[in-house]
Amino acid sequence: MHFSFGVVVAAFVSSCLASPGYLRLDVHRSSSSERLIRRSDDVDATLNQNTNKLEYLINITVGTPPQNLAVTLDTGSSDLWVPASSSSLCKKGKCDEGSFDSSKSSTYTVVEQGGFNITYAAVGDSDAGDWATDTITVGGSAQIKQQQIGVASSLVDQHGVMGVGYDTNEAANDEPNGVYQSVMDNMVSDNIIARKAYSLYLNDLRSTQGAIIFGGVDTTKYTGDLVALPLQAGQTGNVSEFYVTLTGVSYTDHTGKTTQLSPDGYAQAVLLDSGTSQTYLDDDTFAAIANGFGAVNDGQGDFLVPCDFTNVNGTVNYAFGGDGGPTVSVPVSQVIGGKAFSSENFDDASGGCALGFGPPIDGIAILGDTFLRSAYAVYDIDNNVAALAQAAENQTSTSSIEVISSGTTLPGATFTASATGTQLGGAAATSSPAVPTVSLSGTTMILAGTPTFNLGVSQVTSYSPSTITKTATSSGGAVSGAAPTAALLGMGLVAGIHMAM
């Protein structure tokens, strides 16, 4: 599952470390113009675009002799697909992370000509081609032979995806029940790892290195307890994605005061998804966060705050699983993106930056990269479990990796949290909160909002309320709870402008 568009920062694998039972890969960031998109599980694998702004890539090889590529690592999907060198985009030199030339591989076999198709929300934005099999490696692993892959010859996006989710989310193909041996399946059958499980450490927003360990847990990468959470059923009624139960969201300011943001009795199934850059929460909780930071709608589905908020000493806290469950605290600095507007167009001397939150997408609450960078996450597909702990920032040691062996236990994890929650789409989900757009004729200045949190920073708001005319423009739906206040001036200015996170 992916979400994002606009300017993207990508991370790619520069090295790997293999050991019996696990495969460790370092990840590093580099600039990219690509976007992430969320994948659904219908026949054509339709993907819906959304905003902001990070992408994490891993190195693979495909073919004999091996051809080097980097593809997006995605916990929310299950297929591996790569761009074909024969595509017009690659011929123009725009496949920035490599492409695959099937004519140069002696082990390439077509499974279904023209059967591979991933369609995106924008008109004409799709990647299509053949289902095939070939020999691959993942970050320097042993060879995985006859791996089924999609090879996109009709290409819009500059690089492919390696999904590491449940087989049941694979795109439709001619295999029985639409399921084939995924990369994770073949890692186990080829004895590269002992179990379909891995740990993910994205690390600090401004750091240069993180890691994924297939089949292993690194105890140096988290603090406190690593607590296992039972996965919850998604919209299909089955456990087929990484839904865990979020039981509380709060904000702690620089004085140590904590304000509860989620309603009493809160128990919400949320998706842990590395392929989604932002965090999307239920309407009430999102509205409380947006109001707390005084975020304003940019008219394109993103929310702006002064860039100086990266210096705010506060945290957004997420509690999981009820009694005995883990709490992950995300510093404000980790959820404020790159500058979108200068002080010439945003009414704050520091300019306007993106806040990495939004309302639910298609009834789905998602904890994306603006959460996962502060969490150490273990994904256990075989046992329908995910484990979470507070990430230890900028830890580079590799001395304490423990193998996730076959069975049901996770190294170092406790199994004390058991609360369950309801996914938004299966409950009485409220519509996305309508954020009023406020306009002032003849100006191109975006007015900063008024935070309700104690942020410990000053903010300039220079407009006169008596001159502002409220319009009916909104992001859709009725307001659930308190909607974020928005003051957006000169709508023509922001059309088509997207932000980096």
Residues with catalytic function: 74, 273
Distance, first Cα to last Cα, the chain:
18
Cross-strand pairs, 71: 58
Q: What is the DSSP letter of 124?
A: T
**Paired sense of beta strands 37-39 and 47-49, if any:** antiparallel
Contacts by 186-191, CB closer than 8 A, 24 or more apart: 186/144, 186/147, 187/23, 187/138, 187/141, 187/144, 187/214, 187/215, 190/142, 190/144
Residue count of the chain, please give it: 501
Q: Which residue has the tokens 């590799």?
A: 398
**Tokens (6 digits) for 23:** 């495969």
- State the Cα–Cα distance between residues 372 and 361, nearest whole angstrom: 18
- State the Cα–Cα distance between residues 278 and 22, nearest whole angstrom: 29
- State the Cα–Cα distance between residues 167 and 212, nearest whole angstrom: 20
As a 3-state breakdown, the chain gives helix, strand, coil percent values, each rounded to 5, of 10, 40, 50
Cross-strand pairs, 18: 23
**Paired sense of beta strands 80-83 and 279-280, if any:** unpaired
- State the Cα–Cα distance between residues 253 and 201, nearest whole angstrom: 26
Nearest alpha-carbon partner for 460 in 380, 351, 378: 351
Residue-wise DSSP of 359-386: PPBTTB-EE-HHHHTTEEEEEETTTTEE
Q: Which residues of 167-200 are buried (b: 16+ CB within 10 A; e: fewer)?
A: bbbbbbbeeeeeebbbbbbbbbeeebbbbbbbbb
Query: Residues near 93 by Cβ (< 8 Å), separated by ≥ 6?
Result: none
Q: Which residue has the tokens 């927003």?
A: 205
- State the Cα–Cα distance between residues 135 and 190, nearest whole angstrom: 12
User: In Å, how far are 216, 269, 316, 373 from 248, measured between CA atoms?
Assistant: 29, 11, 11, 19
User: In Å, how far are 6, 142, 277 from 49, measured between CA atoms?
Assistant: 10, 35, 11
Residue 98 dihedral angles phi and psi, to the nearest 5°: 100, 165
Nearest alpha-carbon partner for 413 in 379, 367, 374, 371: 379
Q: Which amino acid is at 441?
A: S
